[in-house]
Structure 1
Amino acid sequence: MKQTAGALLSSIRLDRSSRRSISVQLYQGLRDVILSGGLRAGERLPATRTLAKETGVSRTTVIDAIDRLVAEGMLVSRVGAGTFVSDTLDRERPPPVGDAARPSGGKQPRLSYAIGHAGADFARRSWLPHRGGAFVTALPALEAFPMAHWSRISARLMRAERGVMMGYGEPKGYAPLRRAIAMHLNVLKGMNCDPGQIFVTSGAQQAFSLIGQLLLNPGDRVWMENPGASGARNAFLAEGADLVPVRVDDEGLVVSDGLQKAPHFRLAFVTPSHQQPLGHVMSLSRRFELLKAAEDAQALVVEDDYDSEFHFGSAPQPALSSIDANERVIYVGTFSKSLFPALRLGFIVVPPRMVEAFDRLFMDWASGPPTMTQAITADFMDEGHFATHIRLMRRLYKARYEALMEASAQLRGAVEVQQTSGGFHTPARLAPGIDEARVVAQAAQKGVTLVPLARYCLAPLDKAGLVLGFGCATPEDISHGISVLRGLPEIAAQLDQ
């Protein structure tokens, strides 16, 4: 074999069924071979005709891929001699960092004080689901989403003025979407808010992070529901806040417990419309008690309203923000449950006196979601599809909840599933002697997802439990899941007693 023909590159695989163009695949294949050390510095590539023949593509495709690598400085083209791997790579290429090459016991990168010292308290979020089934939480019924309407709106907006759809967009969010959100909140939640008070974010998680950045200093005390939502917990921990676990009962956050533990608090985080994860609705008297405590402490309240659209019991309570006479409540909403999580779209409604501070934050620091995403959502709401979807989902989730309650009667005595009036998850108490961690592990081995109540806790609870999702599980999924639970050793032993 003649050396002048250049290196053999038979390792490059081209997938003609892929959405990526052949030119891009060839470019990436050559680039990967070079970066991995498969081609040494100074080594000659085959002639473009030879490479085209060996890979089964046109010479034009090969030239295009090689020209891109020459432009990046990975290849050098010499007239009359050919194309060679750049010598620069040998001098500058970092050594591979695979498991075998990574030195054991080496120092880890230095983390910020807040992250390094709060790490043990962070709630793991790697469990967020991607597929439905029994008893997955936090995931709506994606199969019921009206994709045809969404696609039609998307196609229409793709033909709209490019400057609006493709530019940087408005810092606080696309104006038509903020108007649509304001109208939705006024009708559904009794909130008399103006679009100027609304700031669009990349999901509720970014909203919590921005609130923490703007309002918290290291050491500030923050009341957190215990058990409670993990996303806000992580965001506030990252700012160095001192989180105070506050007990929750049937009326919501126990304000007296918070005052006993930290009377001089900076923030209180609550989920009053549908407590996460216990499902309680905060009573009106408890709401007024919380607002008075915030006023006395000159504190603020973050209201997380993550799934209140999906009530199927009696009429839901209005938002805490709607009865806030002293502008103490910052309201956070999300479309992750009402539409779909991958949308990464949320919003903050701030009191009028805080609009200027948030305007500065969003103008100078925050970067919101793509304008196209916001525009599709705005039109989806303005055309009535959002309201129709919510009505359909309420009926669907109610039917799935009823299927869960009916099937769970088989577990009575070992697992007591609590009633709820909305959302698409509900907690279940385990009988004394049943270990929730073992139940979760045993169910996972049989393909059933369970979330332990302990995952939501800052401080341990006196009772073990689970959180059962039913929104993305069909009645058949639910029936199968209950059958699996009934057969688990931990639960079966309790049922046999």
Structure 2
Amino acid sequence: MVKTSGGALLLSLKLDQDSAKPLSTQLCVALRELILSGALRAGDRLPASRTVARDLGVSRTTVIEAFARLQAEGLIEARVGAGSYVSQVLEGRRPSPAVAPAEPGETRLPRLSRTMTQRAGAFFDRLPHEPRAFTTAMPAFDAFPVALWSRYVAKHWRDRRDVVLGYGDSQGYMPLRRAIAAHLRANRAIACEPEQVFVVNGAQHGFQLIASILLDPGDPVWIENPGAIGARNCFAAAGAELVPVPVDGEGLDVEAGLALEPGFRLAFVTPAHQQPMGCTMSLRRRLALLAAADEADAWIVEDDYDGEFCYGGRPPATLKSTDSAGRVIYVGTFSKSLFPALRLGYVLVPPGLVAVFDKVMRCFVPGVPSNPQAVVSDFMDEGQFATHIRRMRKLYAERHDALLAAARERLSGLLEVVPTGTGLHTVGLLAEGLDEAEAATRAWDRGITVVPLQRFALAPIDARGLVLGFSGVGPTELRRGVAVLAELLEGMKAGTERRVAARA
């Protein structure tokens, strides 16, 4: 850096006169970066405040404030009659860069924990969540009662400030826990008390909490194959040994699981609406899984992510409702029944786990914000939640039927779309010779979202197909999406036939 008797030139510093950040703060930050990076060395003299002010076009008061802050931080020192200098304490003691520069062509990664290093390869990115044709796990934003919801929100923002702005109960807002327990008793046939309910920041937070409390690194965990990606990531991050257990039309194959790992510590299942295949676990399999868990002294995590949305008849029974031994931990979420931005879910634990979950929540988890919990509590207590669920069941049934009708008309011989009686998505099985990964890539480029079944698989599976969400957009958009999908699959099929003919 060029020097003058008046100190270092600082003409490279740029201050934004239009920024909301004070000029003195901008100058302080800029000088701090020059000092810590070594551009200004220990013992270098800074220009006089008048000089800096003139060079940068700011007031002298601005410069004096910045110098004072740097002096308070120990980065510069003032010498009577001599000016300001970069502190001698920094000589040879500047912090190293966070990551040492890599050699050309070399990628240097940070050092991770042993568990994360070993398990990172098992992680999959979460699915895309843009509201367009066939996106999965997407509630109908266009049909949500925003005006009604806004009134509840406004009401609770007028509550006492310590309630609105302070820390809430670590277990969750008690009126909401009572409302959840009442809902589960009346609608999901689960005998439970509010003390068993722990409110969390979404189902993923619940899975992480369960893993941290119940699993040691290396513990075997049964995972449905294919199965839910998010929960699988949580258990992998905890260091669990994931055991992919096959799924068929009756749900998790318990006999296959016992053959693979009879000493499992935990089993993760989606019995009401298997993710992603869409089947409902049979009573025979439910009883077999409960018996296997009892024999192995294992826990079962039931993810009831969208079981409230059934089309015709009663919702599928929960596994928890048939659990008499206290083996099942039930996880629910408001992301599908209301909207995902709430980041609100709950874990219903057996009585034997209440004390330890309460201890962990009180000691390590600050709790979910009270205000949205209070809004959901009133929404449930005043009957609005039940009304919304009934309305959405009807709406989603219409969208499901629109998808099936369009598929029968346009996708015959290309994709067999399987009807479902529950949930927000279904699957389509591809005709022989069509590649699911290629179909997903082409679909994304054409503005629709389909997910290959293999993406949900921890071990190879025989099925080849696409997961199709139908809840997030209306019938017109679904029909347009089917037309696009049909066009690209026809193109893929024609290309395959040409290649076969050329080889012949």
TM range (shorter): 0.7 to 0.9
Cα distance, 1:385–1:33 mapped onto 2, change above 3 Å:
farther
2:367 maps to which residue? Answer: 368
Question: Contact conserved, 2:303 with 2:331, CA < 8 A, in 1?
Answer: yes
1:176 maps to which residue? Answer: 175
Q: Distance in 2 between matches of 1:271 and 1:365?
A: 28
1:359 maps to which residue? Answer: 358
2:32 counterpart of 1:31 = no
Instruction: Report the secondary structure of 1:488's partner residue.
Output: helix
- Residue deviations 1:376-433, cap 9 Å, x none? 2222322333222222222222222222112222111111111111221111111111
Q: Distance in 1 between matches of 2:60 and 2:371?
A: 38
2:152 maps to which residue? Answer: 153
Q: Distance in 1 between matches of 2:60 and 2:482?
A: 60
| CA drift at 1:33 | 7.6
1:186-225 map, 5 Å = 186-225=185-224
For structure 1, which segment, 139-148 or 224-233, has the greater mean C-alpha deviation from structure 2 after superposition?
139-148
1:110 maps to which residue? Answer: 111
Q: Distance in 1 between matches of 2:384 and 2:71?
A: 50
Q: Distance in 2 between matches of 1:78 and 1:136?
A: 66
Cα distance, 1:312–1:106 mapped onto 2, change above 3 Å:
closer
Q: Distance in 2 between matches of 1:318 and 1:24?
A: 60
Q: Distance in 2 between matches of 1:66 and 1:313?
A: 72
Q: Distance in 2 between matches of 1:33 and 1:145?
A: 51
Unmatched tracts of structure 1, length 5 or more: 17-21
Cα distance, 1:62–1:254 mapped onto 2, change above 3 Å:
farther
2:117 counterpart of 1:119 = no
| CA drift at 1:170 | 1.6
For structure 1, which segment, 282-291 or 196-205, has the greater mean C-alpha deviation from structure 2 after superposition?
282-291
- Residue deviations 1:312-345, cap 9 Å, x none? 2321122211111111111011111112222221
Counterpart of 1:108, as a letter, is L
Cα distance, 1:248–1:160 mapped onto 2, change above 3 Å:
same
Instruction: Report the secondary structure of 2:124's partner residue.
Output: coil
Identical counterparts, % of pairs:
48
| Structure showing greater Rg | 2
For structure 1, which segment, 35-44 or 196-205, has the greater mean C-alpha deviation from structure 2 after superposition?
35-44
Question: Contact conserved, 1:178 with 1:195, CA < 8 A, in 2?
Answer: yes
Cα root mean square deviation, aligned: 3.6
Instruction: Report the secondary structure of 1:285's partner residue.
Output: helix
Instruction: Report the secondary structure of 1:185's partner residue.
Output: helix
- Residue deviations 1:408-461, cap 9 Å, x none? 221111111111112211111111111111111122222222211111111111
Q: Distance in 1 between matches of 2:79 and 2:144?
A: 56
1:291-330 map, 5 Å = 291-330=290-329
1:19 maps to which residue? Answer: none
Counterpart of 2:433, as a letter, is G
Q: Distance in 2 between matches of 1:76 and 1:402?
A: 75
2:500 counterpart of 1:485 = no
Cα distance, 1:123–1:47 mapped onto 2, change above 3 Å:
same
2:453 maps to which residue? Answer: 453
2:282 maps to which residue? Answer: 283
- Residue deviations 1:185-244, cap 9 Å, x none? 112101121000011111111111111111112222211111111111111112222211
2:261 maps to which residue? Answer: 262
Question: Contact conserved, 1:47 with 1:82, CA < 8 A, in 2?
Answer: no
Counterpart of 1:161, as a letter, is R
Cα distance, 1:97–1:298 mapped onto 2, change above 3 Å:
closer
Question: Contact conserved, 2:139 with 2:471, CA < 8 A, in 1?
Answer: yes
2:233 counterpart of 1:234 = yes
2:500 maps to which residue? Answer: none
Instruction: Report the secondary structure of 1:310's partner residue.
Output: coil
Q: Distance in 1 between matches of 2:389 and 2:120?
A: 38
- Residue deviations 1:47-76, cap 9 Å, x none? 79979x969xx9999999998888777788
Question: Contact conserved, 1:454 with 1:461, CA < 8 A, in 2?
Answer: yes
Q: Distance in 1 between matches of 2:114 and 2:67?
A: 46
Question: Contact conserved, 1:207 with 1:347, CA < 8 A, in 2?
Answer: yes
Q: Distance in 1 between matches of 2:397 and 2:88?
A: 66
Q: Distance in 1 between matches of 2:148 and 2:468?
A: 31
Q: Distance in 1 between matches of 2:76 and 2:274?
A: 59
Counterpart of 2:29, as a letter, is R
Instruction: Report the secondary structure of 1:246's partner residue.
Output: strand
Cα distance, 1:120–1:170 mapped onto 2, change above 3 Å:
same
Instruction: Report the secondary structure of 1:309's partner residue.
Output: coil
